[in-house]
Structure 1
């Protein structure tokens, strides 16, 4: 029995519960079909108990799920039992940050929109360090370095053999912020230009001239799963990341991101804006 399930284990349980509820079955009824005690269904749906791929498929049959792609994806979630690199930070960082790294690691496509900050996956170490120095209450120097190293390791999804496709919509305001002084700003802008040249990365600037736009008051990060039902929205809050996965929420944030992207500059013009800002420093 797990004492603290990971975000991925919790998500698997949530999706199994959704399937059961759509089938109109109680946990007690599901346990009878499976031949287990009722609390075992509850523990599986809460992420406290492990589930085998075979059991997922059995439950799906009982729940009359006619979505083979979803069943395959859920079965794959149970088969992935390796401890990710983020586990080494379990004693030093909040669990929500580890869940974020896990979501990014398994995403098939990443999409972000930010207004004030550079997306974490595109930050330089100097830029990230400066941001962590401004946190209230203050982090100790070791805590700052833990978080910087964690943020850099998250970026491996953009550098592995099969990198995750990534679309970043960055408002001009974020590009003009002077976090850390001129040398840090120059390094960050150069890094954005370098990253924007990679085939799997699309960087689009939302200029001041675009005026008002939906979702302007928040940073939105969208991780696409192997099937739409397993997509995840991550909102960056001052107290830590918040994860959303309800169907209506996913749909709303997809619409917001679509509208932002439609108002952003092309990748070519976006690079021109960043280059212009860099030359002005």
Structure 2
């Protein structure tokens, strides 16, 4: 196996979790390397996600660190091997790496919760809606760059529309429904699409009405991706400089609580659909 000069977020996460196990065992990198029969430089590359590691090696690390959490061990073993050749790989060198990391994270998720105040969540956007957002990027994007983002965003939606669709809870503020992105026709089509999506068994759309008052947190877009085991959950936040990914336990607990509070402010699925339909008639 050869080193990876540009590890994916998933590869980095595997290395980070192995380091956490080592530190929990109270071992230095040098001592741990000696226990599993590798040199210290090799150990450092593994923990940085820059060197592929086998499932059997992960289990050997777990034994050396006296980790008894079998669910976590097997989840980490499942993250091993070479980079998955997912559909997002076709966008490598075309789109920013953090966009590919998000697609890969979603691909491996078991469920997702999303909260959005200003925009419709990406996994529920229409092509025209995506295009209108991309057309207003800062700095401006060339036409072909816009189309790359449109096709990428639509392909991401396989996680909720495909044969192996996962559960999605989308918490959307009324403000996002009334933004009119792309003009009246595109906005109405987007709301119809949102209503249709909300009738799917795996998708729940919950609308926070203006009357709910002050929201918890800063109102930023939050994507919470659940993993096979809770320790491997990931939070993605949208920022002006791109995606930010969080995985520390305290951060995961914080954003779970924020999402719980936002969901408590929202209407139930039926009332949410009714409100979306009324807004569509007003546009």
| TM-score tier after normalising by the smaller chain length | over 0.9
Correspondence list, 1:134-145, <5 A: 134-145=136-147
Counterpart position of 1:36: 38
Looking at structure 2, the residues matched to 276 and 217 of structure 1 have their Cα atoms a distance apart, in angstroms, of: 24
Deviation, structure 1 residue 79: 4.6
Looking at structure 1, the residues matched to 252 and 98 of structure 2 have their Cα atoms a distance apart, in angstroms, of: 19
Looking at structure 2, the residues matched to 173 and 81 of structure 1 have their Cα atoms a distance apart, in angstroms, of: 39
Looking at structure 2, the residues matched to 267 and 79 of structure 1 have their Cα atoms a distance apart, in angstroms, of: 41
**Pair 1:61 & 2:98 matched:** no
Range with bigger deviation, 214-223 or 49-58: 214-223
What is the number of equivalent residue pairs in this alignment? Answer: 281
Structure 1 counterpart of 2:271, from 269, 272, 276: 269
Looking at structure 1, the residues matched to 13 and 218 of structure 2 have their Cα atoms a distance apart, in angstroms, of: 28
Contact 1:170 1:203 in 2 (8 A): yes
Counterpart position of 1:147: 149
After TM superposition, the runs of 4+ consecutive aligned structure 1 residues lying more than 4 A away are none
- Structure 2 residue matching 1:77: 3-state secondary structure: coil
**Pair 1:248 & 2:273 matched:** no
Looking at structure 1, the residues matched to 228 and 81 of structure 2 have their Cα atoms a distance apart, in angstroms, of: 15
Looking at structure 2, the residues matched to 159 and 217 of structure 1 have their Cα atoms a distance apart, in angstroms, of: 27
Counterpart position of 1:7: 9
Contact 2:52 2:82 in 1 (8 A): no
Change (3 A) 1:81 1:93: closer
Q: What per-residue deviation string (whole Å, max 9, x for no partner) do you get for residues 235-273 of structure 1?
A: 011221100000000000000000110110000000000
Looking at structure 2, the residues matched to 150 and 81 of structure 1 have their Cα atoms a distance apart, in angstroms, of: 19
Deviation, structure 1 residue 82: 3.1
Counterpart position of 2:88: 86
Deviation, structure 1 residue 158: 1.0
TM-score (norm 2): 0.98
Counterpart position of 2:229: 227
Change (3 A) 1:76 1:169: same
Looking at structure 2, the residues matched to 112 and 82 of structure 1 have their Cα atoms a distance apart, in angstroms, of: 25
Deviation, structure 1 residue 161: 1.3
Deviation, structure 1 residue 217: 2.7
Counterpart position of 1:131: 133
TM-score (norm 1): 0.98
Counterpart position of 1:164: 166
Deviation, structure 1 residue 162: 2.1
Looking at structure 2, the residues matched to 192 and 221 of structure 1 have their Cα atoms a distance apart, in angstroms, of: 17
**Pair 1:113 & 2:95 matched:** no
Name structure 2 gaps, 5 residues minimum. Answer: none
Deviation, structure 1 residue 36: 1.0
- Structure 2 residue matching 1:78: 3-state secondary structure: coil
Contact 2:11 2:49 in 1 (8 A): yes
Contact 1:110 1:222 in 2 (8 A): yes
Change (3 A) 1:80 1:224: farther
RMSD: 0.9
Name structure 1 gaps, 5 residues minimum. Answer: none
Contact 1:115 1:216 in 2 (8 A): no
Counterpart position of 2:21: 19
